[in-house]
Structure formats: structure tokens, C-alpha cells
Amino acid sequence: MPEKEWPRVAVVGAGAVGCYFGGMLARAGAPVTLIGRAPHVEAIKCGGLFLDSIDFKESISVSASTDLDAVRGARVVLFSVKTVDTENTARSLVPYLAPEAIVVCLQNGVDNVERIDFAAGIQAIPAVVYIAVAMTGLGRIRHSGRGDLIIGDPSPNRHGRQRELAEVAATFARAGVPCRISEDITTELWQKLIMNCAYNAISALVRTKYGRIAEDGGSIEVIKQVVGEAVAVGDAAGVRLSADAMIAAALKLGRDAMPDAVSSTAQDIGRGKLTEIDSLNGFLVRKGAELGVPTPVNQTLYSLVKLLERAPSVE
């Protein structure tokens, strides 16, 4: 039998995460277009996307563009912009989306799908992304841990988009990217949010990798308090999680799964960019205030990262 034809894929937001997953699909043979900033696009057009993976080192031939109209005709659209750009990008994307396009949200945080829908009426599929990856130069990324996805339908009946979910999962699996369909994607999103809140701010503030954080006694105590507050907020919001289980999972992530990871927040600070901290610890602080749950440790980490955004270096 002839091999099944690949769906056309567009990656909106060709940063580290978008380039990794788009690059893996292109490497396997899918027609992929990376849409990003001009310097990276020009480098990729000239020399391909260089992926320094834990499994291989390879220059991948892939299309790249700076224009959103490159989304036209794509069956699968990976939405991977920074959370600060969610609404504006979603609104700008609408004219170019094919009626049958499947938009998969590869962003940090738990409320991006709702924000995309509110801003642009796009019914995106939420994805939980576990990966340690960073841009190391123009058109170059380094992958240092994991690289798997969890997708699901957050609607109450959770059966309305099974065909689309299966298509997305099969497409990634064919490219060697583990992709699991969850029956409770909301809980999975909260679990990932808690992992991010445990590490992102600390990694940015002390400029170190997850492995060192997870072995330091003082940092472990901070992680425990961050997780405890997050679980309490989640519980008040109707998401049931175990603080002990989440603490154990956080420490395992840093020690075993992603010890060499440096958080995206740390990477953004290093480049003088706005971070996604408002969608991480900042989200917990706001949600906690709304629900009457105190979050003093998350508030401290959030406030310090915001200060660092405004004053990234000592004159």
C-alpha cells in the first residue's frame, strides 16, 4: 500500500518549541512552513534548521516565512507564540486559516485556548508540552531533554473532536514525537503549569539549570511551597491534585527528566525580552486572589521576575 500523504503543517511562532516540533515533522517528510522573525527565517532559508538533539545532529530542510499568509492551505497549524502575543496573533491568523484547519496550541499556561477563542473565535486544541529546548543561534536549536506532547478536548463531553485528536497524535507519532491523547486535558494542563511555576522563575532568578535546583535544599523548600499554593488554587478552581504527588513529580522532572534544562523565562531574560511569567506564577497569583487562596511564595517569585524584566542588569 502507498504511504499515507502527510498533512501540510504551518508553525506560527518559530521559536525553540515551534522549531523543534516543526523540525521533527519536516525531518520525517511532512511539508512544514516555519513562520517567525526575519533573522531566523533567513538563516533557515539559507542553511536549513540545525537541530542539535539528544538523539542526532542534523540540518533539516524546511520552508520558512515571516508572513502569516503562509498558513494558507495548512491542515495542521501549530500555535507556538509567546503568551503575551496570544490575542494579537490569533486575530491576525483568522483570514488565512482554511475551514478544515486544526489549530494546536503549544503554549505555556492553562488558559490560552480560551483566550484564542475569545479573541478570534478559533477552536484550538490544547497541548501540554514537555521539552527542554533552546535557540542557540540563528536557525539553530539545542534539544536537551524529553520532547513529548499531551493533547485533549477540554469540552464537557470530551468526544467532539476525537477524529482530529487522533489525526494530530498519529501525525506526531509518525515523526517520532510521542503524543498522548488525554481524557482530562484540563488536569494535565494544570500539572504542567505547576511544573513551570516550580522551576521557571527560580531558574531565571539564579540563572541555573533544573538539576541543580532540584538538588539544593533551600530551593526544594521553595518548590514545595510553590506547589502547595498551586494545588490549593487548583482545588479551589475545581481541579483536584495531590500536593505530595506534584512535589515528587517536580523533583523527578529536575533530577531525572530535564536536569540540563534552563527555563524559557531565564532564556527570555537573557535576551532582554518580556517573559511569560504572567501566564505562570502570575496566573496563580491572580487566580488565588479571585478564589480567596493566599499565594505569597508565588507572588514573591512573580514580582522578582517582573523586576528583573525591567532591570535585567546592574549598571
d(C-alpha 91, C-alpha 86), whole Å:
9
Task: Name the residue among 107, 142, 145 with its Cα closest to residue 126.
Answer: 107
Map out the domains of the chain with their CATH numbers.
9-183 (3.40.50.720), 186-310 (1.10.1040.10)
**Chain mean pLDDT for the chain:** 95
The closest alpha carbon to 150, from 116, 186, 200, 112, belongs to: 186
Tens of pLDDT along 154-210?
886 656 799 999 999 999 999 999 999 999 999 999 999 999 999 999 999 999 999
Q: What is the spatial distance between Cα 231 and Cα 280, in angstroms, rounded to a whole number? A: 13
DSSP type of residue 161: T
CB-CB contact of 104 with 161 (8 Å): no
Which pLDDT belongs to residue 311? 76
CA angle 32, 8, 143 (to 5 degrees): 35
Instruction: For residue 36, give the nearest of 17, 54, 59, 55 by alpha carbon.
Output: 17
Residues of the chain with pLDDT under 70: 1-2, 156-159, 312-315
Closest CA to 270 of 85, 138, 147, 134: 134
- State the SS3 of 260-293: CCCCHHHHHHHCCCCCCHHHCHHHHHHHHHHHCC
Instruction: Please measure the distance between the N-terminal and C-terminal CA atoms of the chain and give it in whole angstroms.
Output: 66
Question: Looking at residue 199, what is its pLDDT?
Answer: 98
For 223-253, the pLDDT digits (tens) are 999 999 999 999 999 999 999 999 999 999 9
